[in-house]
Amino acid sequence: MAPAAMRSAAHSLSDAQPVPFWLEDPGKPGALPALTGTEHCDLLVVGGGYSGLWTALLAKERDPGRDVVLIEGREAGWAASGRNGGFCAASLTHGFGNGLARWPDELVKLEELGERNLDAIEAAVAAYGLDCDFQRTGEIDVATEPHQAEELRRMYEAADRLGLADGLDLLDRDAVRAQVDSPTFLGGLWDRRGVALLNPAKLAWGLKRACLDLGVRVYENTRGLDLVRAGAGMAVRTPYGRVLARQVALGTNIFPSLVKRIRPYTVPVYDYALMTEPLTAGQLESIGWRNRQGLGDSANQFHYFRLSADNRILWGGYDAIYPFGGRVNAELDQRPETYLTLAEHFFRCFPQLEGVRFSHAWGGAIDTCSRFSAFFGTAHGGRVSYAAGYTGLGVGATRFGADVMLDLLSGERTERTALKMVRSKPLPFPPEPFAWAGIGLTKWSLARADAHDGRRNLWLRTMDRFGLGFDS
């Protein structure tokens, strides 16, 4: 980074608050009391993020008479569900390319289910009055290098061959800059209906309220400590009591699973984001963006960016960090060197916004797995179900995962449980130091590919061969 660019980026960060913008909201609901003593229920949901909240809500929709309890270690939506970028995507496979590489024979079905899932989220927002700034604006994948423009063209053609190009617009340089004006944009692929933008914290808080209204008993500051058989059901011990349940659904994602054998399948990756101050009318006019789409560039180390309801720009991604040993530690939520890199990249993308300052800077862990999309399963003779590994795409896909967990607990074969994606597992990560070394080498190789026209080196090609590569 040039000294002048570094000084400008650093100045833009001088007033940034080290907290997630979305969670610093005066309308945030108060915490509910912790569980004390013993509770009994038909279904216990562990985890108060999107995964757990959707599971509890859908369980009551399926059977209003089902007695459901949800426990959350802190407060609903405090972790990844409340601090993400607010991109709610239809994709269940972390993008068309990843899905095509892994499940080519059922991708059409997966895309159909994903679109239906996003439609159902939109319907739930309306039905339950979830005040979360939901806008189905779509998303543009932008090319900032010539080889990326060619990759987007090939992706469009592959979608067209499968009959999946309806709602996709391939944009040249002038067309994409007519939507959002950056001198770095060389082309784009606009998915007009497959992505909605929303306020992620308000979605979590709204889902919590909807669960309570349907009769779900929610206990916050109540961590699940262990999971054991108890007669015909299960028991989960908490700091001040326990829950006896006929069935259990685990939505703990990056936090250590109560089913210990699935822990090696996920690792934490720390993702970071910035939020600008609100743009003036003149600043907003200088970049266009009248259709308010979400955006993401097409590099391996990519940025995602969007407008908030009050015309701030959220700018995140790029510098994903894996900590040695897979630690989930609040001290890692702040990384000034990453904020400086992100700020410099922001002004390179939008030089016309020179002088804009960032009001918030934050980070935190998300869960990922070796296939970059969620996996599912059961334990304890079918009494327990789980879903994990969403790799940053959980705002939308967790609702689908909730349906899968409930299907698995019912023991019935459905269109979801029949999927190879649902029936298969990713490869687990190796123990340390091999996990740290392998992830580090992969990150270096992806950065090298970005700098060399997308060419994948021997390491990435080997990963691809074993189903461990990432195709966006």
- Judged on CB neighbours under 10 Å (0-12, 13-18, 19+), 144 is buried
For 52, 167, 250, the CA distances from 234, given in Å and listed in that order, are: 17, 46, 12
The C-alpha torsion from 97 through 102 and 103 to 109, rounded to 10°, is -40
Q: What is the mean pLDDT of residues 34-61?
A: 98
**pLDDT of residue 114 exceeding 80:** yes
d(Cα 366, Cα 322) in Å, to the nearest integer?
10
Tokens 């995964």 identify what position? Answer: 51
Q: What is the pLDDT of residue 418?
A: 97
Lowest mean pLDDT among 95-99, 187-191, 208-212, 236-240: 95-99
- Rg, C-alpha atoms of the chain: 22
Question: How sure is the predictor about 453, in pLDDT bands with cuts at 50, 70 and 90?
Answer: confident
Question: How sure is the predictor about 277, in pLDDT bands with cuts at 50, 70 and 90?
Answer: very high
Tokens 């961590």 identify what position? Answer: 223
d(Cα 467, Cα 79) in Å, to the nearest integer?
29
Q: What is the pLDDT of residue 443?
A: 84
What does the mean pLDDT of the chain come to?
95
Q: What is the mean pLDDT of residues 296-310?
A: 94
Q: What is the pLDDT of residue 471?
A: 52
Q: What is the mean pLDDT of residues 264-284?
A: 96
**pLDDT of residue 276 exceeding 70:** yes
Instruction: Name the β-bridge partners of 41.
Output: 245
Q: What is the mean pLDDT of residues 247-268?
A: 95
**pLDDT of residue 355 exceeding 80:** yes
For 53, 274, 362, the CA distances from 359, given in Å and listed in that order, are: 30, 8, 10
Q: What is the mean pLDDT of residues 158-168?
A: 96
Q: Look up residue 96 and give its amino acid.
A: F
Nearest CA-CA partner of 224 in 17, 356, 33, 35: 35
Burial state string for 33-51 with b = 16 or more CB within 10 A and e = fewer than 16: ebbeeebebebbbbbbbbb
d(Cα 120, Cα 113) in Å, to the nearest integer?
10
Q: Dmax of the chain from CA atoms?
A: 68
Q: Look up residue 228 and give its amino acid.
A: V
Q: What is the pLDDT of residue 420?
A: 97
CB-CB neighbours of 140 under 10 Å: 25
Contact 354, 11 (CB under 8 A): no
Q: What is the pLDDT of residue 464?
A: 77
**pLDDT of residue 470 exceeding 60:** no
Q: What is the mean pLDDT of residues 46-73?
A: 98
Q: What is the pLDDT of residue 449?
A: 83
Tokens 């932008």 identify what position? Answer: 142
Whether residue 20 is preceded by a cis peptide bond, meaning omega within 30 degrees of 0, is: no
- For the segment(s) 3-25+136-192+266-368, the CATH number from 3.30.9.10, 3.40.50.1100, 3.40.50.2000, 3.40.50.1860 is 3.30.9.10
Q: In terms of residues, how long is the chain?
A: 472
* Tokens read off for 169: 């617009």
Higher confidence at residue 5 or residue 114? Answer: 114
Q: What is the mean pLDDT of residues 232-245?
A: 98
Nearest CA-CA partner of 378 in 412, 348, 339: 412
Question: How sure is the predictor about 203, in pLDDT bands with cuts at 50, 70 and 90?
Answer: very high
CB-CB neighbours of 4 under 10 Å: 8
CATH topology of domain 31-135+193-264+370-429: FAD/NAD(P)-binding domain (3.50.50)
Q: Indicate if the alpha-carbon torsion angle 277, 282, 284, 286 is positive or negative.
A: negative
Question: How sure is the predictor about 444, in pLDDT bands with cuts at 50, 70 and 90?
Answer: confident
For 384, 388, 400, 406, the CA distances from 411, given in Å and listed in that order, are: 11, 19, 17, 9
**pLDDT of residue 32 exceeding 80:** yes
* Tokens read off for 455: 């060419």
